[in-house]
Amino acid sequence: MCIRPRRAYISLSLGAWIIIGIALVSTLVVLCWPIPQRRGLEFWVFSRTHADFYTPVIADWNRSAPADGVPEVNLLNISSDALCRRAMSGFLSNTPLADMMEIERSQIGQFFSGPVNDIGFTDLTDRLHKEGIDTALNEPSFGPWTSRGRVYGLPHDVHPVMLAYRADLVEAAGIDINQIETWDDFARIMKPMIQDFDGDGRPDRYLLNLWYTNPDSVEMMILQAGGNFFDAQDRLVVASETNARVLATLVSWCEGPNRIAADTPEFSASGNELRLKGFVVCSLMPDWLAGVWKSDLPKLGGKIKLRPLPTWTKGGCQTSVWGGTMLGIPKNTKDFSAAWNFVQRIYLSESVAKQLYQTTTIISPVKALWKSDFYDVPEPYFSGQAPGRLYINLAPQVPRRNSSPYNTLAKQRVLDATIALRQWAVANKTYERTALEPVAQKLLQEAQAQVQRQMNRNTFLTPGEAR
């Protein structure tokens, strides 16, 4: 018997046909719509503060661009993660990117994880040396942007760290903070400031805003003490005695009968409220955070003073470093000469440095500008002190940081070790630094082994290569 095949057909509802029609029409519109191409140089930044600050500078540049015969600059503000994903994708696929871009220190390592020839940013080393810029800027500020001895970005900042303290509370208590030289002095001299006002047996005021679960705080204190995660040849030094001492000290500050620290997070309403109430007397303050406090905590105006950090040992380093940004020029920029001129315009000029400081309290890494009078202007918020001059006095001491692509991993493993050390201290009711140091050393050895195993998988970066 012969069976005739049925004719295939499609039966769609009226709604489905409407949807298909809309899709076809919208596709045609997108394909035919003229998309204006922005001429000039593309400049990507991740910080809204930077974008707001650069906007008038770029407007001035663009007004004179036609007469000077240089390209205009177009600014795009996108999140740090999105910027870095787009940059890495462009570098790997050799597709068009911005002509200039700012990269934050925590993100830079990924761009240095492969062979040196595959680094997407222009090597600026020889040009910096030829034009004398390498010696004109604060030398440690180049550290995060240097890989295998070559510099791939111009530093935006220095970011030295000082101790901000409630001068109104300290002076009312009759404490002479100038007697403090070391962190041991700090804990001893400032101890009377720890008070229980409501009699519930728990302090309502602590000495220091610092917590063992904050990776930036842990790294900052390690750097100030002379420790690091990598040495000058990018060899792992996570399990050093210095690092173990810092971890043991931080845990002893955060737990036990001699606790002096509390967690009042920055950039949070709860943290700001606790600071206003005087829950903590002192905070670690890089120059950029001084600007944030002026904006977010105006009620503390006239109550705050700054001073160098207490040292870990007598005669030791009086500051540390927190954060940082570079401006890099991708290799495939449309006009390197114009991009380089613009980079110098916004990073090296005195007028921009003045606006940067007055807007954000960030000091320039350009040493010749440190003598500028605007850094000496007394600031009512800081009880008549000139914060710019105080930060500049400490700038040469800022610890040099590395650019290892494994720095973020190392920082996380060190944080894990710190948390484990705190758990051990609580479980064993042992809070003295000297008793915690051997345990910290063992935990750091485990952390170092974990990072080393990950590093060994990278055939492009052998020990001693990734500087």
pLDDT tens sequence across 341-365: 999 999 999 999 999 999 999 999 9
Q: Tell me the residue ranges of DSSP E strands in 78-151.
A: 100-104, 146-147, 150-151
* Secondary structure E strands in 49-205: 73-77, 100-104, 146-147, 150-151, 154-155, 161-166
* Mean pLDDT, residues 425-437 taken together: 97
Quick check: 27 pLDDT over 50? Answer: yes
Report the Cα 215 to chain-centroid distance in Å.
11
pLDDT for residue 67: 75
pLDDT band at 315 (very low <50, low <70, confident <90, very high): very high
At residue 187's C-alpha, the angle toward residues 432 and 192, to 5°, is 120
> Which residue, 67, 152, 76, 150, is CA-closest to 108?
152
pLDDT of residue 66: 80
pLDDT > 90? residue 320:
yes
467: pLDDT confidence band, cut at 50, 70 and 90? very low
Nearest-angstrom CA–CA distance, 306 and 283 = 10
Predicted confidence at residue 13, as pLDDT, reads 77
Query: What pLDDT, on a 0 to 100 scale, did the predictor assign at position 128?
Result: 97
What average pLDDT does the segment 406-435 reach? 96
pLDDT at 466 over 50: no
With 60 as the cut, is the pLDDT of residue 424 above it?
yes
Please state the pTM of the whole predicted model: 0.88
Confidence band for 23, pLDDT divided at 50, 70 and 90: confident
| Mean pLDDT of the region 288-300 | 96
pLDDT (average), residues 259-287? 95
- Please tell me the distance from the alpha carbon of residue 181 to that of residue 43, in angstroms, as a whole number: 45
Residues with Cβ within 8 Å of 96's Cβ and at least 6 positions away in sequence, in order, are 90, 332
201 vs 15: which has the higher pLDDT: 201
- Contact assessment for residue 187 and residue 251, using Cβ atoms and an 8 Å cutoff: no
Across residues 287-306, what is the average pLDDT?
96
Any idea how long the chain is? 467
Q: How confident is the model at residue 89 (pLDDT cuts 50, 70, 90)?
A: very high
Q: Return left, alpha or beta for 41; rule: phi > 0 is left, psi -120 to 50 is alpha, else beta.
A: beta
pLDDT of residue 465: 45
Mean pLDDT of the chain: 91
pLDDT at 34: 55
- Is residue 40's pLDDT more than 80? yes
CB 230 within 8 A of CB 211: no
Answer whether residue 390 shows pLDDT above 70.
yes
Determine which helix (DSSP H) or strand (DSSP E) holds 393, and give its type and residue range: helix 387-394
Report d(CA 209, CA 221) in Å as an integer.
13
- Residue by residue, DSSP assigns 188-204 as HHSGGG-B-SSSSSS-S
Q: Which of 29-33, 52-56, 393-397 has the highest mean pLDDT?
A: 393-397
Domains of the chain, each with CATH number or no CATH: 41-155+323-383 (3.40.190.10), 161-321+399-456 (3.40.190.10)
pLDDT value of residue 22: 81
The token pair at 157 is: 């900042």
Q: How much is the pLDDT for 70?
A: 86
CB 415 within 8 A of CB 451: no
| Six-digit token string for 286 | 């890089």
Confidence of residue 238 (pLDDT cuts 50, 70, 90): very high
Taking only the tens place, the pLDDT of each residue in 9-20 is 456 677 777 787
pLDDT above 70 for 193: yes
Report which of residues 201 and 239 the model is more confident about.
239
Instruction: Write out pLDDT tens, residues 136-173.
Output: 999 999 999 999 899 999 999 999 999 999 999 999 99
